[in-house]
Amino acid sequence: MSRGVCILAALLLGCQGTIGDPPGAPSESPTPPAVDSSVPVGDATTPPGDLGAVPDAPPPPFEPAGPVFPRLTAPQYRNAVLDLLGSPLPPVALEPDTDPFLFVAIGAARASASERDVSGWEDSALTLTRAIFNDPARRMTLVGCVPSTPDDGCARGYLQRFGRRALRRPLDAPEADALLELSRRTAGMNPWQGLRYATAAVLQLPSFLYRVELGEPDPARPGRRRYTAWEMASRLSFTLWNSIPDEALLTAAERGSLLTEEGVRAEARRMLQHPRARAAVRAFFSQYLGLSRVDGITRDPTLFPQMSPTLPLAMREEVERVVEDVVFTHDTDFRGVFNARSTFLNAELARLYGVPMAPGATGFVRMELPEAAGRGGILTAAGVLALTAHPNATSPTARGRYVRERLLCERVPDPPGNVNLDLGGEADGGVMPTLRERLERHRRDPACAGCHARTDPVGLGFEDFDAIGARRAAEAGRPVDARGDLDGQRFDGARALGALLARDGRVARCVTRQFFRYASARIDRAADAGEQGLLDALTARFAASGYRFQALMVETVASEGFRTLGAVE
């Protein structure tokens, strides 16, 4: 399909005044404010001594935030076209996602569309539709009938069905007519060619590439807006499945059942039983815990002979399997991920951990770690330990910051630009100082003391694990000291820290907040007491469920914060 045909498609749809978007939708993504992806992911609203207790006083009334218009992330785009066109599909090149504040959905809501993006979407649409429509069996499976002309009843019925699924709502009459006109103009002597170009046009519409959710007046609450049933189907699907709705969800939207809290709960519970939900939960925790950074880990093989090209993939897989096991296989107290002895190891990880594999075992096997392994929970998983270390050494500061920001939602500022980061390492009287001793000297600098006093006492509790997560007994020729302190609670070793965190109310509140951000594709408003009250209520429901993460997901998507929105500005 030539670029001229793509322009024709835009003109045909644009002259109808729709281009696939509801009235009032932006014609292009607005230029976002500059975002530094290194901005801390927590905030300063949770003081160190607050264990996350939910206040007894009722919060102010909740006022919903305005809409955001995230475009599909790269995984969402790939999942969507697979659901629409079927597998296998040729690879397509997409611009990489950004993840300010941890989540790519937030980056997608802040991104503007460049010429390169538009060109990439066009190339992808042409590549994908070529693979389908050049294959007689696959195009028949997709279209479901044989068109005699590029705009007959077969063609119209197909485009209406395909458009409803791709745009997550029915096509209106002008849209359907514009697509049929495009099919006529591009078909030549081949009706299939016209349908291919019309299909490629749908895959380039803003309503496919973006999650356009403008809402409608709420008849039960004058002056308030709610998401439409079709928009709720899209929001549920991208949150719980990371893809487009299935037919059952679209049917629920058509019936209007997604306009009620109980209707949303019912569909959410159904969706969580689908394998797609497991992949989506893995995606959430991969971003929340920073597991994508594990993939690129390298180490000096002379210092870490256990390191191999395949070890990082195994490290990431272990953590994701542990989370999936707790959330889905057992649907039990989520806090168990911080202190459970059970994990999933392959032969390579088992060697790193010093744990024998069962004879004949292949792949990943669920195992109970022995007491002697000194491990328990994801904080002692090699993936988490490696991503919070320097290339050739441990980093108590990075590990402590990880706990503060990722698990407690606290803000730890970056070091000043002019601070001296050299910790030294010279021998004193022939004795090499340990990292603990060097950090203690470093904290004597007033410019460093404030932040390091919050991170280092926590991170020093990981010192019995090296930079790839192998357990160690000595450093600088002396026994490792893995004593730590979390806001006055002393512990010895990362396993003991995990046990503390499993009981710390701040962790549950932080997980609630992070899932709300993931689902909403925006940062919660820290200064808005009503929205913070909503998060407190969600945390309380999370606790009442026995801290079951599936229950948190259902409560979040059924909440006012997910189902309602403020005025479109």
Distance of alpha carbon 41 from alpha carbon 393, whole angstroms: 24
Per-residue pLDDT of 89-125, as tens digits, reads 999 999 999 998 999 999 999 998 999 999 999 999 9
- Are 545 and 551 contacting, i.e. CB atoms less than 8 angstroms apart? yes
What's the confidence (pLDDT) of residue 508?
Answer: 97
Kindly state whether residue 113 falls inside one of the protein's structural domains: yes
| Residue 416, number of CB atoms within 10 A of its CB | 10
The residue with tokens 């021998």 is: 427
- Are 512 and 557 contacting, i.e. CB atoms less than 8 angstroms apart? no
Kindly state whether residue 306 falls inside one of the protein's structural domains: no
Task: Quote the domain boundaries for residue 96.
Answer: 3-23+41-47+70-209
Kindly state whether residue 243 falls inside one of the protein's structural domains: no
Per-residue pLDDT of 132-182, as tens digits, reads 999 999 999 999 999 999 999 999 999 999 999 999 999 999 999 999 999
Kindly state whether residue 267 falls inside one of the protein's structural domains: no
* Total domains in the fold of the chain: 1
217 DSSP β-pair partners: 225
What's the confidence (pLDDT) of residue 36?
Answer: 32
Kindly state whether residue 181 falls inside one of the protein's structural domains: yes
What's the confidence (pLDDT) of residue 17?
Answer: 34
In the chain, DSSP finds a helix count (H) and a strand count (E) of: 24, 9
Kindly state whether residue 117 falls inside one of the protein's structural domains: yes
CA 438 to chain centre: 37
Kindly state whether residue 375 falls inside one of the protein's structural domains: no
Kindly state whether residue 100 falls inside one of the protein's structural domains: yes
Distance of alpha carbon 216 from alpha carbon 564, whole angstroms: 9
What's the confidence (pLDDT) of residue 16?
Answer: 38
DSSP 3-state of 345: strand
What's the confidence (pLDDT) of residue 350?
Answer: 96
For residue 242, is it left (φ>0), alpha (ψ between -120 and 50) or beta?
left
- Are 410 and 468 contacting, i.e. CB atoms less than 8 angstroms apart? no
Rounded to the nearest 10°, the torsion over CA 117, 119, 123, 125 is: 70
Q: Which regions of the chain are under pLDDT 50?
A: 1-5, 7-8, 11-12, 14-52
What's the confidence (pLDDT) of residue 401?
Answer: 96
For residue 310, is it left (φ>0), alpha (ψ between -120 and 50) or beta?
alpha
| Residue 559, number of CB atoms within 10 A of its CB | 20
